[in-house]
Amino acid sequence: MEMKQVSDNCFAVLNEKNRVCDANSGLINRGGGVVIDTQSDLPHARQMIEMFSKVWPAMPKRVINTHEDGDHVWGNQLFEGAEIIAHRSVPERMKHVANPEETQKLLHGVADVSTRQALEAVHPGVAAAGLQLLEDYNLDGVELVLPTTLFDTGYELDLDGTEVHLIYVGPCHQVGDTIIHVPRERVVFAGDVLFRQCTPMGWTGTYEKWLRCIDLLVQLNPEVIVAGHGPLCGIEGATEMKAYLQYVRDESKRCFDAELTSLDAAKRIEFGPYGEWRAPARLYMNVERAYREFRNDPHDAPWDTPATFDAIYKVARAKGIEVEY
């Protein structure tokens, strides 16, 4: 992890491995302090707090959760007494998608040789993902702490004269997707509507909504975008991810029309220039998401998570690359 100052009063803590759960966090060091997203486990959250403490005078008065995924909210409990702000959908969604018990069980399971071998026989992708997480994360002690201040389409903060705009853009990556714009500083904290130098994963939403959101990032014309995952960027990061999504959607349509399954399509579609990104086999999720739209499935149709991670595993093996999430 490293901390970077991105403007006069905005800072970011970045997880440099840039794999699953390696989420970024932000700090707006005005008006008592605002932390944006709280990391994937308590050790990382404490490290983030230590880094930010070099520039803030005290624990922040507010926390913003950009959406409901565990890697952005599992450190909430360390901010006792803080106002936690999120879109109205986030608390209920967190109960379903960010319940730490399932991931805690997975990490404990893969740490045990016999349990891991049994899991590998049934769900090799889940076992591989668990082993990768075990390298860096320990979810022991994590308790779900829900947002306390909720909004619908937007929310504004006045931090001693610095305006901060929370803009609801979901569902793109998840239902509660919110971007945080600090106009005076020309900074946007994008959450997981933007992945940088790693393959995006979309759980709930549509390509159309996600592409519109990326267009909004460009229209805001920030000097710096703090992505949910990956290094800092400007609008070039947004335009690059837009090109990726358009490429995958177009290639998926050709495969869909040829009556290939989404898994076979993901094995066939070339990574192209995006093969240099982390976890390129996540391509499967973006292909399957396109297929759901071509089939007119509901945008919030649930995923079979074990089968999804197994499919990513199979794509990586078929393409002869490292299995990575």
77: confidence class by pLDDT, cuts 50, 70, 90: very high
- The 3-state DSSP class for residue 149 equals strand
The pLDDT of 157-185, averaged and rounded, is 98
Q: b/e string for 150-182 if b means 16 or more Cβ within 10 A?
A: beeeebebebeebebebbbbbbbbbbbbbbbbb
Q: Is 164's pLDDT higher than 90? A: yes
The pLDDT of 157-178, averaged and rounded, is 98
Cα→Cα distances 19→14, 38, 295, Å: 12, 17, 30
Phi, psi at residue 62, to the nearest 5°?
-135, 150
| Residue 99 CB contacts under 8 Å (≥ 6 apart), including other chains | 144
Cα→Cα distances 212→10, 139, 171, 219, 302, Å: 25, 35, 11, 10, 23
Percent of the chain scored above 90 by pLDDT?
99
57: confidence class by pLDDT, cuts 50, 70, 90: confident
Rounded Cα–Cα distance for residues 42 and 22 (Å): 13
Please tell me the predicted confidence (pLDDT) of residue 80: 96
Please tell me the predicted confidence (pLDDT) of residue 196: 98
316: confidence class by pLDDT, cuts 50, 70, 90: very high
Over the stretch 8-48, which tens digit does the pLDDT of each residue have? 999 999 999 999 999 999 999 999 999 999 999 999 999 99
DSSP symbols for 96-110: HH--HHHHHHHHHHH
The pLDDT of 145-151, averaged and rounded, is 97
DSSP symbols for 233-302: B-HHHHHHHHHHHHHHHHHHHHHHHTT--HHHHHHHS--GGGGGSB-GGGHHHHHHHHHHHHTT--TTPP
Rounded Cα–Cα distance for residues 35 and 52 (Å): 9
Assess contact for 185 and 10: CB atoms under 8 A.
Answer: yes
Assess contact for 45 and 222: CB atoms under 8 A.
Answer: no
Strands 83-87 and 224-229, by their bridges, are unpaired
Please tell me the predicted confidence (pLDDT) of residue 169: 98
The pLDDT of 269-294, averaged and rounded, is 97
Strands 187-195 and 34-36, by their bridges, are unpaired
Over the stretch 116-127, which tens digit does the pLDDT of each residue have? 999 999 999 999
Average model confidence (pLDDT) for the chain?
Answer: 97
Assess contact for 283 and 311: CB atoms under 8 A.
Answer: no
* Stated length of the chain: 325
Percent of the chain scored above 70 by pLDDT?
100
